[in-house]
Amino acid sequence: MEKKNLKGMTLQELEDYMAELGEPAYRAKQIFRWIYRGATRFDSMTDLPKELINKLNARSRIGKIKIHGKYESAIDNTVKYVFLLEDGNMVEGVKMEYSFGMSACVSSQVGCRMGCAFCASTIGGLVRNLTSGEMADEILAIQEDTGKNVSRIAVMGSGEPLLNYDELMRFLNLVNSPQAFNISLRRVTISTCGIIPEIIRLADEGIPVTLAVSLHAPDDSIRDRIMPVNRNYPILQLLDACKYYIIKTKRRVTFEYAMISGVNDTTECAQKLSRLLKGMLCHVNLIPLNPVKEKGLKKSDPKKVAAFKKILEDCGISTTVRREMGADIEAACGQLRRSMMLDGVKR
């Protein structure tokens, strides 16, 4: 009989499991707290009776991912982790430190099938979805390694989170649970390429997460070329979904815009984008393109980025240029992939 993995279960599911074992519901809360303190063995749960520990050892387990590789930036305090999953697959995550605390960027899928022209995560396609327990374990592994608690989370690693919707929601339940990570959902950012039905679904959840939409183009002709998702979900329909999200959540939407030399960084592009977004409750995050050798695209000149920013700001659109963190260890936006290192050999 395969042992049941308790990591990733909701508290209610764990209570139901305790009932199956003939145990009182309060035991679930004890076990739940231990798991999200980082416990990986039932024997270490000192407030559980021996009889229950024996039952759990016979029927259950606590899944655990491992840190396979760790890369520390010489530029800032950014650290990229390569996580080894129990089935041998790998994903990457990033730890960033700011004055307000420690942030973690986590992956939601092994690989990605979205095919964006500037992103390393899509190389090799999609292998599988991560479970909520594996996403939670990325946080636990970072906390164990650093000895600090994560205070903000961005689901912006490899994968399209909204195409792993159910497990994403289960993960958010763990993030927000007072017995687990106890992180406000206002401190969580969900990034998407623009999966319209799931943006609507997320809006209807009534939870205050920040939505970050990878826009990267001001019109369909450019976006079709660099983001295949646009052929199914074109820009005007995507913006309508974002407006719905704003109305339902009263939250500002962030639009991510990677500045690609000669592709989407012209004055005309900035003017088109200004017309599209004028009057929306939104923020534009201009991202100097991070190089991915397999893609062959080049970053925009800093002067072009500054000029682009000014055009948007002159139209009243809140705009920043993202600080390039962890670029020397390929930990920046668009650079995370399924695995960077296998058996010590860099790919």
Q: Which two tokens stand for residue 67?
A: 């840190």
pLDDT confidence of residue 340? 46
**Taking the C-alpha atoms of 197, 220, 116 and 154 in order, what is their torsion angle to the nearest 10 degrees?**
-50
pLDDT confidence of residue 22? 96
State in Å, rounded, how far the first CA of the chain is from the last one.
38
Residue 106 and residue 76: Cα distance in Å, rounded?
19
Q: Which CATH number fits domain 4-61: 1.10.150.530, 3.30.420.10, 1.10.540.10, 3.40.50.720?
A: 1.10.150.530
Active-site residue, selected from the candidate residues 112, 119, 282, 333 = 333
pTM of the model: 0.92
Residues 6+ apart with CB under 8 A from 107: 83, 91, 92, 93, 130, 135, 138, 157, 158, 159, 336
DSSP 8-state code for residue 131: P
* Residue matched to tokens 């993960």: 171
Q: For the chain of 347 residues, list the mean pLDDT of each consecutive stretch of 10.
A: 92 96 97 96 96 97 95 88 95 91 96 89 90 97 96 95 98 96 97 97 97 97 96 98 98 96 96 97 92 73 96 98 67 53 37
pLDDT confidence of residue 74? 84
- 66-346 — its CATH code? 3.20.20.70
Decide if 333 is catalytic. Answer: yes
User: 70-104 as b/e, with b when 16 or more CB fall inside 10 Å?
Assistant: ebebeebebbbbbbbbeeebbbbbbbbeeeeebbb
pLDDT confidence of residue 98? 87
Active-site residue, selected from the candidate residues 92, 138, 256, 330 = 92
The domain spans of the chain are 4-61, 66-346
Decide if 23 is catalytic. Answer: no
